[in-house]
Every structure is written in C-alpha cells, then in structure tokens.
Chain A
Amino acid sequence: ETAVFQTPNYHVTQVGNEVSFNCKQTLGHDTMYWYKQDSKKLLKIMFSYNNKQLIVNETVPRRFSPQSSDKAHLNLRIKSVEPEDSAVYLCASSDYEQYFGPGTRLTVL
C-alpha cells in the first residue's frame, strides 16, 4: 500500500531549466529524506527534514534546495539543471525504517 507519493514520475528537460519535485507522506512520520540514485543504482542522501526543520544537508550543489511546508510534505527544487543531475530522485519517510516513494526520473538533455 503506497504511503509515500511522488510527482511527477518522469521529467525531461533541458540544461538550464528549473524543475520541482513533490513528495507527500501519509504515515504521520516526523522525518523525511531526499536521495539521489544514479544510473549505477548508488544511493546518496541529499537532505533530511525533521518536523519541517532541515537536519541533514549533504554536500550537494547549491542549485538544489529542499522545501517543506509541513511535516507531511518535502519538495525538491533544482534551479538551472545540469546534465549530471539526470538520475532518479527518491523521497522517503521515516520513523526508523525508511518508507520510499516510487521515485522521479529526471532526464536532462
């Protein structure tokens, strides 16, 4: 049963454009994450929010910015995308286990 929802499923854009990805969880958790998964399936944490507060901010380019309106929503904005941003972006909600959404596949042409 899906409890972490991500939109869109896919997004194709050109270098320099701005994109936004949305994530919503219905599990009542306080903590949410954004991960980037590359073509080799390597999974890297980008950001984590706990109850709307940023608590983990890994070394990612400044064009990436998370946005949280409440603890059930965590969006990701990328200003001026680059080719290396092509990846699957996974959102997760957590108490201790992580509950993942289906991912958003970004292709930058």
Chain B
Amino acid sequence: TQTVSQSDAHVTVFEGDSVELRCNYSYGGSIYLSWYIQHHGRGLQFLLKYYSGNPVVQGVNGFEAEFSKSDSSFHLRKASVHWSDSAVYFCAVRTGGYKVVFGSGTRLLVSP
C-alpha cells in the first residue's frame, strides 16, 4: 500500500522568496510521482511528474521538483514566488495500476 505525506499543512512566504513544499512517500516498487495545484474553487491542475531519469524535473510556471529514492521524497521548489502561486499543492503517487493516492495538501500563501 502506498502512502503520501505532506508534512506542512500551511506555508507562508513573501513575494519573491523561494519556497520548498515537502512530499514523502512510502512504496517499494516503481512509482509515478506528480504534483498538482488547486486554486480556490477550481479543480486540480497538473504541474510536473517524475517516473525515471533525471531526478530533477521541470514543470510549468518555474516549478521544479527533485526525486530522492534514498529519502523517499519528491519535494517541490520554486526560486521566486508570485502572489498568484497562492493555492493548495498536492503531491500524488501512482503505482503500476490505476490507483492514485494524494497527499493531504499544503496551502501556500504568498504575501505581497
């Protein structure tokens, strides 16, 4: 059974700051990791994914994430946040089947 943990429920930063949102997973086999963003009142939107290869993957709007097998982590980062990045961010794990497990989400607030 795969699990996904997002340890920070809330993160607050100022516009222009860098930010890292943490995601840890538990699963022994091959997995497909992804991040999604949910703005208020909207559905989730895909940001980026990792399956194999370069452990640092680039996504939309300047987001990147780094996979670490040793730490069982897939943290999301952005070098300089904008107020429009305020949203809830979800980490997700998919195994070889069709089941997808989402983390509990991290609410990012970017203050002007």
Contact = CB atoms under 8 A, between A and B. Distances in A.
B43 interface: yes
B102 interface: yes
B46 A97 contact: yes
Given A41-B88, A43-B90, A100 B102 contact: no
Nearest to A41: B105
Contact of A98 (B88, B97, B100, B105): B100
Interface in B1-55: 32, 34, 36, 38, 41-46, 49, 51
B98 A48 contact: yes
A52 to B, nearest CB: 14
Interface residues of B, number: 25
Given A33-B100, A41-B105, A43-B102, A102 B34 contact: no
Contacts of B49: 96-97
Nearest to A4: B43
Nearest to B32: A96
- Give chain A's interface residue range (CB within 8 Å of chain B): 20 to 34
Given A98-B44, A101-B43, A56 B92 contact: no
B97 to A, nearest CB: 8
Interface in A47-69: 48, 50, 55-56
26 contacts: A31-B98, A40-B104, A41-B38, A41-B88, A41-B104, A41-B105, A42-B105, A45-B99, A45-B101, A48-B99, A55-B98, A90-B43, A90-B44, A92-B43, A92-B44, A94-B100, A96-B94, A97-B34, A98-B36, A98-B46, A98-B92, A100-B43, A100-B44, A100-B45, A102-B41, A102-B42
